[in-house]
Amino acid sequence: MIRHLRHGISFAICVMLSFGVTAAVSGQQDSEGGPIRLVPSGETPAAGTSEGPPPGQAAPRPTDVPIAVVALDRPDPSSVGVLTAAEGGFEVSLWAGSRRPLIEALLPRIPAVTPSRALQSLRKRLLLTTAQVPSGASVAPSFLGLRVERLAAAGDYSAALALAALAPPQMDDPALDVVRVEGALLSGNHQNACEVVDRVLAIGRRSPYWVRRLAFCRVLEGNMARAALTAAVLREFPGEPDLLFDQLLSSFAEGAEAPIAATTDLAPLHFAMIRAARRALPDSAADTANPAMLRAIATSANASIEARLRAGEAAEIAGVLGAESLGQIYASLAFSDAQRTNV
C-alpha cells in the first residue's frame, strides 16, 4: 500500500511539474514575443466574426428542443413482492435480460422439497422478491400465480398467502384461488375457504375440485341434503373419483364411524373434513411427501404421537417446521419405566 501511495504521489508530482514547465515556457514566449496575434499582420477581423451580437441587438435564442412523446408500458401487477433488496431479497432488475416464456416454463420446476437450507432460503428469496417481470409474451395466467403456487408446493403457505394478498382484485388466476382456499382449509378458517369457493363458482369456474369443496361447505352449513346433491353433480364430470372424499362425505351424512382408509395422498380438503368430523388421522398419512400436509399432521391433535413424530421430522427437514416445534413433539413422548432403564 505504501509503494502504491508513493507511486501515486510521484505521478502527481510529475504531472504538476510538467504543467509548471509548460506554463513557464508559455509565459516566457509571451514575455519575449509580446502578445500573440490572432489575425495576420495588417488585417482586421472581418465584420460579423466577433463573438457576441452587434451593439443594440439581442442575442439569438437557441432553437426549441423537439419534444418526443413515448408511450410507457403498463406496469405488470405480477411485479409485486414481499421482499426488497434492503430486506434480504434480490434487486428489482432480477429478471433483466431473461425471456418470460422460458422463465415461466422453469418456475414450476423449482423443487418443492429439498433438505438444503441454502436452497430453501434461495427459493423463498427468489419467489418473494419485488422485481420487474421478464420481458416477452406471457404463457401462464399470471407470473404472480406461478410464484405463489411454488411457495405453496413447498409448504410455505404463510408466505404464499402474503404474496397472493398483493394481487389486485382484477387479477383472474385460478392458481391464486387454489392457494387461498387450501391455505384456509389447513388453518381451519372454513368461512374464508367457503367465501373463496362461492366467489369462484359465481364467475363460472366449475370442476370437480371446486364442486367437492362446495359440498364440504354445505356440510359445514348443516345442510346435508344440499351437500349430497352437490356431490351427485360429480358423476357428470370425467376423471377418477376421490374415494376418500366420498367416504368422508358419507360419514357426515350417516354418522358412520368406520375407520378411515389408509392413505399417503391426504389433501387439505381431506384434512379439514377429518378435523371437522373429529376423526383420527390414519398413521399412513404421515408418509406423504407433501410438505404442507407433513406440517399439518405434525401439529394436529387428530394424529397419533407416532404419526406426528414421523411427520414432524420430515417437515423439519423440508424447512416447514421449526426445530422448537419438533422438540415439543419429542417432549410429549411418553416412556415406560422399562424403556427408561433400558436406554
Pull the grid cell for residue 121. 432460503
Torsion of CA 146, 152, 156, 162, to 10 degrees: 60
* 157 and 104 co-located in one domain: yes
* 265 and 182 co-located in one domain: yes
Residue 26 in domain: no
Give the C-alpha separation, 146 to 127, whole Å. Answer: 9
* 247 and 287 co-located in one domain: no
Helix extents (H) in 233-302? 243-254, 268-276, 291-298
Query: Are 273 and 295 spatial neighbours (Cβ–Cβ below 8 Å)?
Result: no
Spell 262-275 as b/e; 16+ CB within 10 A means b. ebeebbbbbbbbbb
pLDDT tens digits for range 281-311? 999 999 999 999 999 999 999 999 999 999 9
Give the C-alpha separation, 208 to 25, whole Å. Answer: 94
* 310 and 244 co-located in one domain: no
Strand partners, 135: 99
* 94 and 128 co-located in one domain: yes
* 140 and 211 co-located in one domain: no
Looking at this protein, which amino acid is placed at residue 195?
A: E
What percentage of the chain exceeds 90 in pLDDT?
A: 63
Residue 21 in domain: no
pLDDT at residue 14, rounded to an integer:
39
pLDDT tens digits for range 115-170? 999 999 999 999 999 999 999 999 999 999 999 999 999 999 999 999 999 999 89
Specify the number of domains making up the chain. 3
Residue 47 in domain: no
Give the C-alpha separation, 159 to 177, whole Å. Answer: 15
CA distances from 54 to 51, 62, 68, 185 (A): 9, 17, 35, 86
* 152 and 91 co-located in one domain: yes
Strand partners, 129: 83
Residue 45 in domain: no
Q: Which CATH number goes with the domain that contains 257?
A: 1.25.40
| Burial zone of 282 (CB within 10 Å; 0-12 exposed, 13-18 middle, 19+ buried) | buried
Residue 316 in domain: yes
Count of all residues that appear for the chain in the document:
343
Strand partners, 83: 129
- 321-330 own/partner pairs: CB under 8 Å, 24+ apart: 321/294, 321/295, 325/298, 325/299, 326/298, 329/298, 329/305
Residue 18 in domain: no
* 190 and 222 co-located in one domain: yes
- Output DSSP code: residue 287: G
pLDDT tens digits for range 199-258? 999 998 889 999 999 999 999 999 999 998 988 888 888 888 899 999 999 888 777 677
Of the pLDDT bands very low, low, confident and very high (cuts 50, 70, 90), residue 67 is confident
* 96 and 117 co-located in one domain: yes
Domain end position, chosen among 168, 189, 216:
168
pLDDT at residue 68, rounded to an integer:
62
* 164 and 177 co-located in one domain: no
Domain end position, chosen among 152, 168, 184:
168
- Provide the domain limits for residue 138: 75-168
* 305 and 236 co-located in one domain: no
Residue 84 φ then ψ, to 5°:
-110, 175
Residue 48 in domain: no
* 178 and 239 co-located in one domain: yes
Domain end position, chosen among 168, 200, 229:
168
Pull the grid cell for residue 268. 387439505
Strand partners, 99: 135
Lowest mean pLDDT among 20-24, 69-73, 95-99, 321-325: 20-24
223: three-class secondary structure by DSSP: coil
> What's the average model confidence in pLDDT over 178-182?
98
pLDDT at residue 50, rounded to an integer:
52
pTM: 0.75
Pull the grid cell for residue 186. 389447513
HSE at residue 273, side-chain half, CA atoms within 13 A, is 25
* Packed helices 323-331 and 305-318: angle between N→C axes, nearest 10 degrees: 160
Cβ-proximal residues to 300 (8 Å cutoff; 6+ apart), any chain: 271, 275, 281, 308
Give the C-alpha separation, 287 to 309, whole Å. Answer: 11
Query: Are 146 and 175 spatial neighbours (Cβ–Cβ below 8 Å)?
Result: yes
